[in-house]
Amino acid sequence: MKEALSEMLHALHLEDKFQQQKLIHSWEKIMGKVIANRTNKIFFSQKKLFIYLDSASLREELLNAKEKIKKMLNDAAGTDVVDEIIFQ
């Protein structure tokens, strides 16, 4: 079943979209409850991840760790799904 789903996603060129949605749904698990609770909205546009936060101080902290977060997210996805992270 897993192989069939993988083949179907590949054939329809939806692998990246699937991984992106998987990351969005895993945001709390990857980043932790505190950051997830301060996240208002998260979405992908192409390979850019947009993250809307309700805390300016948290936004600054995450900006300083942007490359580390990008690596964590891509590692969690098992492929390079995130090219850039934009905090707002």
Read off the pLDDT band of 79 (50, 70, 90): confident
pTM for this prediction: 0.85
CATH topology of domain 2-87: GMP Synthetase; Chain A, domain 3 (3.30.300)
Question: Is pLDDT at 46 greater than 80 in this prediction?
Answer: yes
HEC assignment per residue over 9-64? HHHCCCHHHHHHHHHHHCHHHHHCHHHHHCEEEEEEECCEEEEEECCHHHHHHHHH
Q: What is the pLDDT of residue 13?
A: 65
Q: What is the pLDDT of residues 5-33, one digit of tens each?
A: 777 766 766 788 888 989 999 999 999 99
